[in-house]
């Protein structure tokens, strides 16, 4: 069965520092991969997605992610974190018979210190 692991429950970074959030997936075929962000009291917002092609994908808010098949990873990165990036981040893989449902990881809470 498809699954997603986000090894870090919490991460704290200083404002202006770089960020990397880890995501590992388990899926038999070429996966559809996603990163979502959830701000407190809000719904989820799509940051970026990977379906095929270039393994480095750009998203909104200055985020990018790199798909590494050999490591079954899809880590999210940002070169310089802003205080407004503090939120919870969810990695997800497309799954299901028709690839039409999302399987989420447990999330990583990002704290930004000034």
CA proximity to 104, closest of 91, 87, 114, 89: 91
Q: Which residues within the stretch 4-43 sit at the binding site for other proteins (CB under 8 A)?
A: 32, 34, 41-43
**Does 101 contact other proteins by CB under 8 A?**
yes
Provide the token pair at 38: 């959830």
Contact between 44 and other proteins per CB under 8 A: yes
Q: Give the shortest CB-94-to-other proteins separation in angstroms.
A: 4
**Judged by CB, which is closer to other proteins: 11, or 102?**
102
Q: Kindly state whether residue 86 participates in binding other proteins, applying the rule CB under 8 A.
A: no
Q: Does 90 bind other proteins (CB under 8 A)?
A: yes
Is residue 106 a contact point for other proteins (CB under 8 A)?
A: yes
Q: Which residues of the shown chain bind other proteins in the complex (CB under 8 A)?
A: 32, 34, 41-46, 49, 51, 88, 90, 94, 96, 98-104, 106-107
């Amino acid at each position: 069965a498809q699954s997603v692991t986000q090894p870090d429950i919490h991460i704290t970074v200083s404002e202006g520092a770089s960020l990397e959030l880890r995501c590992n997936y388990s899926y038999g075929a070429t996966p559809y991969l996603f990163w979502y962000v959830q701000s407190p009291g809000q719904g989820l917002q799509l940051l970026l997605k990977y379906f095929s092609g270039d393994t480095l994908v750009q998203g909104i808010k200055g985020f990018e992610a790199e798909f590494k098949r050999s490591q079954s990873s899809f880590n999210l990165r940002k070169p310089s974190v802003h205080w407004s990036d503090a939120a919870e981040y969810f990695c997800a893989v497309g799954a299901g018979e028709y690839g039409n449902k999302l399987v989420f990881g447990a999330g990583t809470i990002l704290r930004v210190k000034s």
